[in-house]
Amino acid sequence: MTLPRVYVCRRLPDRGMDLLRGGADVRVWDQNEVPPPRDVLLREASQAFGLVSLLTDRIDDELLSQAPKLRVVANYAVGYDNIDVDAATRRGVVATNTPDVLTETTADLAWALLMAAARRVVEADAFTRSGKWRSWQPELLLGQDVHGRTLGLVGLGRIGAAVARRAQGFGMRVLYHDVVRREDLEGKLGIQFRPLESVLVESDFVSLHTPLTPQTRHLINADRLRSMKPTAVLVNTSRGPVIDEAALYEALKNGTIWAAGLDVFEREPLATDSPLLTLPNLIALPHVASASFETRSRMAEMAAANCLAVLAGRAPANPINPGVVTRLGLREGA
């Protein structure tokens, strides 16, 4: 039996690769550190029935128009701003993502950034290693208290809610803003809805959990940064362009806000000569919020299962454009 060709844009953890190899003729981009160049991606997509893409691979109308056999794009991420979903829908290509499995791991990292920025963990580590530590000092590396303060969440999806749950243990007041008010969660999580501006003004810590859309691009701009407390800490584990990075640089440099912890950037990888990296009050991570062994394995398994389901004529568990699934008459377990 001839198996359908699937192109995988980077080698995934074994659980996903093994699953894919069981049901498809798998080709893989073999360089782990960089995505396939555009010409390679276009060429491979033109022959593939399935693509397993990463957030670094642009799946746009140009690619889809040159991929006549393509039936599914299975993104190895919960975010899918790298995919032109409308174009996929027009062309009858099912797109899928990997929600839920990375929620808790991502929330853990948002908290790691929050705590590290508040208590200057990275600076303190560098200080210890530098040989500057002469003795205990009353005012050495003072930071911001986390317990009992106010946490503001911008976006209350799965990850925002998981971040809120962790705040209960720190006795924090939690405010949130989302385009959809989640009254169902307010009592359970002990959180209060506010307009975005109030979340920014009232919070000691602001953590971003919105998808990247035209509406959220540069949501956190110079004006909004100015409205925050001078002691505030900003955390971003969503998508880099949600923050206007030039404005953030100025805000951190001038003390408009106190510190930031970022896992995501407007341009990734962040250039080593980025002015952001000159700031001691910024922590910069290389987009690793979901990077635990177990979570990345579960994401791989999920992306592989989504891909294979469509190729076998079944509905995938995590469609982004369910209308296509219906149009194609794909059913779960069929």
Which residues are known catalytic residues? 239, 268, 287
Residue from 9, 72, 77, 234 binding ligand DGY (CB under 6 A): 77
> Contacts for 120-126 with beta carbons within 8 Å, 24 or more apart?
120/259, 122/283, 123/280
Least distance in Å: CB of 79 to ligand DGY? 3
The residue among 163 and 172 lying less far from ligand DGY, judged by its C-beta, is: 163
Crossing angle of helices 158-168/103-118, nearest 10°?
50
Give the CA diameter of the chain.
73
Contact positions with ligand DGY (CB under 6 A) in 42-71 = 55
The residue among 210 and 256 lying less far from ligand DGY, judged by its C-beta, is: 210
Instruction: Confirm or reject binding of residue 290 to ligand DGY (CB under 6 A).
Output: yes
Residue from 70, 95, 101, 102 binding ligand DGY (CB under 6 A): 102
Residue from 9, 26, 73, 78 binding ligand DGY (CB under 6 A): 78
Beta strands in the chain (DSSP E): 5-8, 25-28, 50-53, 72-75, 94-96, 150-154, 173-177, 191-193, 205-208, 233-236, 259-262, 282-284
Instruction: Confirm or reject binding of residue 96 to ligand DGY (CB under 6 A).
Output: no
Least distance in Å: CB of 332 to ligand DGY? 23
- 315 phi-psi bin (left φ>0, alpha ψ -120 to 50, beta other): beta
The residue among 100 and 223 lying less far from ligand DGY, judged by its C-beta, is: 100
| Among 18-26, 75-83, 112-120, 273-281, the segment contacting ligand DGY (CB under 6 A) | 75-83
Q: How many CB atoms lie within 10 A of CB 246?
A: 14
Q: How many CB atoms lie within 10 A of CB 45?
A: 24
Which residues would be at the binding site for ligand DGY (CB under 6 A)?
55, 77-79, 102, 290
